[in-house]
Copies of this chain bind each other. A is one copy, B any other.
Amino acid sequence: VGLGYWGPNLARNFQTSADFDLVGLCDQDPRRVERAGAPYPSATQTTDIAELLEKATPDLVAIATPVASHVPLSKAALEFGAHVLCEKPIARSVREAEELLALARKQRLHLFVDHPFKYTGAVRVVQQLYATGALGNLFYIDSVRINLGLFQPDVDVTWDLAPHDLSILSYVLGGKNVTHVRATGSTHNPHGFIDVAYVDLEYKGGLTAHLHLSWLSPVKVRRMIFSGSRSSCIYDDVEASEKVRIYDHGVSFEVDDVEQRRQVLVSYRRGEMRAPAVDLREALAAELTQIAAHIRGAPSGASLGDEGLEIVRILAACETSLAKDGARVAL
């Protein structure tokens, strides 16, 4: 359900998956249904979710619509008796997200959250670097996720872009909890949504992460710096061939010698850099395999509703901070 940018990718991956059959497609806009549905003539094609459920009788419904409709569509699917795979963020408020989880529990169905970054080769490399101690203690994390002026119709830039950072960080940091947030932002468009925001996240144990989110950047940047005591790494998703770069120097706290200082000042980095080979295969296929395993009752790494709820909690806290002029807000 939802055949804008992401939906057709979902459709293609369900179709080619060994675990799923693509039984139907749905979008409010009939032109999108027609265009996206062309390669799948045997799948039910409709503009109405009720008709989709009735005719296609799906076991799982994937929802890739604008944020505002995530909750009603997920509810419809769960009530019909289908598992749900929902885009992030799963709801616009903590209360709604909690209701959705409760409904899934009541129906004994799974509410999955679409979290494809977790299955990309690049993010897996970063996760391994952290988990194995190769980075040492993390000093801080800085993420820049800025865009080309693509405004969302129903949410501000934090709800649009931060979920990606939040889910990547949750995975890399092994589920470490965010304890406080702080957010500032500004609005420069006629729709009134915040289009530039800076978010500070404090994790349990003191680690901080800083996000620069923007719809007003002339270039697309997707770059996260993980600064660590043993080594540091940069994950740049826009890079074609070197998505993860690892810098093997720890930071030296003693640079007394003037000659060494000068060297440092004129050079652009120190120590060796290496860029491991990164698996570039599409993450969605691996995600669907995990989801299928989970439904069959096998242990899986699939992201469930509680992960989606946690992201909504953090986004809601950012909203509170934005409303209080950047105050530090506890979760």
* Interface residues in chain A, defined as those with a beta carbon under 8 Å from any beta carbon in chain B: 4-5, 12, 15-16, 29, 32, 35, 38-42, 139-140, 142, 144, 146, 148-151, 182, 184, 186, 188-191, 196, 198, 200, 208, 210, 212, 214-220, 225, 227, 229, 231-234, 238, 240-242, 245, 247, 249, 251-253, 255, 258, 261-277, 280-281, 325-326, 328
* Residue among B41, B151, B198, B251 making CB contact with A253, cutoff 8 Å: B151
Q: Is the CB of A258 within 8 A of B4?
A: yes
Query: Min CB distance, A275 to chain B, in Å?
Result: 5
Q: Which residues of chain B are near A191, meaning CB under 8 Å?
A: 253
Q: Are B261 and A150 in contact (CB under 8 A)?
A: yes
- Shortest C-beta distance, A1 to chain B (Å), equals 15
Q: How far, in angstroms, from A319 to B139 measured CA to CA in the complex?
A: 21
Q: A2: shortest Cβ distance to chain B, in Å?
A: 11
CA of A264 to CA of B152, assembled, Å: 12
What is the CA–CA distance of A229 and B218 in the complex, to the nearest angstrom? 11
Q: Are B328 and A326 in contact (CB under 8 A)?
A: yes
Which residues of chain B are within 8 angstroms of A245 by Cβ–Cβ distance?
218
Q: Please state if B277 and A274 are interface contacts (CB–CB under 8 Å).
A: no
Shortest CB-to-CB span from A244 to chain B, Å, is 10
Give Cα A231 to B222, complex, Å: 21
Residues A149 and B186 in contact in the complex (CB < 8 Å), given A32-B258, A220-B268:
no
A139 pairs with B188, CB closer than 8 A: yes
Partner of A148, one of B29, B219, B264: B264
Are B140 and A216 in contact, CB atoms less than 8 angstroms apart? yes
- Residues of B near A271 (CB, < 8 A) are 277
Interface pair B253/A190, CB less than 8 Å apart: yes
A225 to B273, CA, bound (A): 19
Find the B residue at minimum CB distance from A182: B326
Question: How far in angstroms is the closest Cβ of chain B from A237?
Answer: 11
* B269 with A150: CB separation less than 8 A: no
Highest count of chain B CB atoms <10 Å: which of A182, A219, A234, A261: A219
Complex Cα gap A269–B147 (Å): 8
**Contacting pair A149 B252 (CB below 8 A):** yes
A275–B277 contact, CB under 8 A?
no
- Which residue of chain B has its CB nearest to the CB of A250? B149
Q: Is the CB of A266 within 8 A of B251?
A: no
If A184-B200, A274-B273, A326-B326 touch, whether A265 touches B218 (CB-CB below 8 Å) is no
Q: Which residue of B lies closest to A147 (CB)?
A: B264
Contact flag A149-B264 (CB < 8 Å), given A212-B210, A233-B218: yes
Bound Cα distance from A295 to B268, whole angstroms: 37
CB distance from A226 to the nearest CB of B (A): 9
Contacts of A281 in B (CB 8 A): 263
B contact residues around A274 at 8 Å (CB)? 272-275
Contacts A267-B148, A325-B328 given; indicate if A272 touches B261 (C-beta within 8 A): no
CB contact between A218 and one of B32, B208, B247, B263 (< 8 Å): that residue: B247
With CB as the reference atom, state the residue of chain B lying closest to A274: B274
Do residues B139 and A196 form an inter-chain contact, with CB atoms below 8 A?
yes
Question: What's the minimum C-beta distance from A55 to chain B, rounded to whole angstroms?
Answer: 18
In the assembled complex, the Cα of A271 lies from the Cα of B238 at a distance in Å of 18
B contact residues around A240 at 8 Å (CB): 238, 240, 268
